Amino acid sequence: EAGVTQFPSHSVIEKGQTVTLRCDPISGHDNLYWYRRVMGKEIKFLLHFVKESKQDESGMPNNRFLAERTGGTYSTLKVQPAELEDSGVYFCASSQATGSNSPLHFGNGTRLTVT
């Protein structure tokens, strides 16, 4: 079984540019989550999809961030325009069902550096 896959693994962009991160969840997993770890801080929740619908986007920092999951398969997270404080590691996770008995499977993350 292929795991959660994230592209790219690293991205370096200049302030003001746009970046799009992609996450391919495990096949058949309806739940998809985005988390972020800013340098030196804890990993924080960004949002949660159930299939193509946003279930909870309470963690999205501001309107420069846009997440989509068209068709309920892969998801993208776009940052436009990027700011210095957006630098960090962005993790995607998926699960088969909600409930803590269905654990989250994480990808390797995308390391974003904004200069």
Residues that bind another protein (CB under 8 A): 3-4, 31, 33, 35, 41-45, 48, 56, 91, 93, 95, 98-109
Q: Which residues of 53-75 are buried (b: 16+ CB within 10 A; e: fewer)?
A: eeeeeeebeeeebebebeeeebb
Please identify, using beta-carbon distances, which residue of 88 and 109 lies nearer to another protein: 109
Please identify, using beta-carbon distances, which residue of 70 and 101 lies nearer to another protein: 101
Q: How far is the CB of 22 from another protein (least distance, A)?
A: 15
Strand partners, 32: 49, 94
Strand partners, 6: 23
Q: How far is the CB of 39 from another protein (least distance, A)?
A: 12
Please identify, using beta-carbon distances, which residue of 48 and 69 lies nearer to another protein: 48
Show the DSSP H helices in 26-113 as ranges: none
Q: How far is the CB of 92 from another protein (least distance, A)?
A: 9
Please identify, using beta-carbon distances, which residue of 79 and 93 lies nearer to another protein: 93
Cis geometry, peptide bond prior to residue 103 (ω within 30 degrees of 0)? no
